[in-house]
Amino acid sequence: MVVQTAGRKWLLWVVALVVMLAAGYWQRRVGPSYPFKGEVTVAGTSVAVRLPRNHTTASPQRVAIAAWDDEAAGTLWWRRFPTNDPFAAAPLVRTGDELTAELPVQPPAGKVEYYLELSAGDGTIRVPAAAADAVILRYKAPVPLGFLVPHIAVMFLSMLVGVRAGLAALFKTGETRTLTWIALGGLTVGGMILGPIAQKYAFGAFWTGVPFGWDLTDNKTLLMWLGWGAAGIAFAWRARAARATVVVAALVMLAVYLVPHSLRGSELDYAQLQGPVRSTSP
C-alpha cells in the first residue's frame, strides 16, 4: 500500500503522537515511582490516601493523610528496604486538617518500606490493608534540570519519531531512512548520553545495565538503541530488509515503553553502604 498525499502523512504523525502520549501516560501511572493511591473508611468517614514512592535526598519525605475527626490519630511504621530491620514508629502529628509524619532521608538509591496504622475506635486500620504489603519509597539525589529536562524531552521525541518511522516503513511514505537516523540520533543523545549523566547525579553510577549489572531501565534503553542501530546499518548497506528492520525497531520501542519506568532500578545494598548501587534484577 502506498501513501502519497501530504494529508495522510500528517495523519501518520497524529497517530504517532497519540501513541507517544499514551505511552507517557502509561509510564507515569504504572511505574513503581507513582504514588500509592486508595481510599479507606475510618470511624465512618471515607478518607483518600496518597502515599509517595519517590523522593529526593534534599529533604525528609513528608507523609500526610486527612484527619477524619477531632480524635484522629495514627502511626507511621517504616524500615530500610530490603532489610530485616525492625519497623520503627513515627507518631502521626496533627497539622491543620492533616495527620503528618516524616520518613528519614536515605542515601541515593536507598529505599524504605512503610505503612500507616490509623486509630479507629478500639482498633486500628492498616494502610495498605494487607499485612504483607507496604509502600516502598526510593530516594534519589537531585538531578539538575539542565540535564533532566532535555533527557526526558529527547527520549519522548525519539519515541514519536521512531513510531512515525515504523509507520513510514509500513506505508512506504518515503521518509523512512531520514526518520530512522533521527530516531537513532535522539536515542543516542537522550538515552546513551543524557540518561547516564542523569543517573550519575541521581544514584551515583553512570550505567548499571549490561555488562555491569541488570538495571532494567538501562537495559531497555540499550535494547532500543541497538534496534535502531541495526535499522540504521540496514539502510547504510542498502539492505532489502531495511524497512522491515525499522518496523521491528519500532515494535521493540513500543514493547519497551510498555514496561513500567524505573522497574527494577538502582537499589542501595544496605549491607555495603560504602559500595556501589546494585540492581534488584536476579
Interatomic CA distance for residues 197 and 65, integer angstroms:
36
Dihedrals phi, psi of 165, to nearest 5 degrees: -65, -40
pLDDT computed for residue 281 by the predictor: 32
pTM of the model as a whole: 0.82
Residue 275 has pLDDT above 50, yes or no: no
Instruction: Kindly indicate the confidence band of residue 237, based on its pLDDT and cuts at 50, 70 and 90.
Output: confident
Residue 92 burial (C-beta neighbours within 10 Å; 0-12, 13-18, 19+): buried
Amino acid 94 reads: R
Kindly state the cell numbers that stand for 55. 523522593
pLDDT at 47: 93
Sort strands 111-120 and 123-127 into parallel, antiparallel or unpaired.
Answer: antiparallel
Domain ranges of the chain: 6-30+143-279, 36-140
Instruction: State how far the alpha carbon of 18 is from the alpha carbons of 13, 25, 102, 156, 187, in Å.
Output: 9, 11, 39, 12, 20
* Mean pLDDT value across the chain: 88
Residue 101 CA to residue 76 CA, distance in Å, equals 7
CATH class as words, domain 36-140: mainly beta
| pLDDT at residue 200 tops 90 | yes
- DSSP states along 12-68: HHHHHHHHHHHHHHHHHHHSTTSPEEEEEEETTEEEEEEE--EEETTSPEEEEEE--
Residue pair 77/113 in contact by the 8 Å Cβ criterion: no
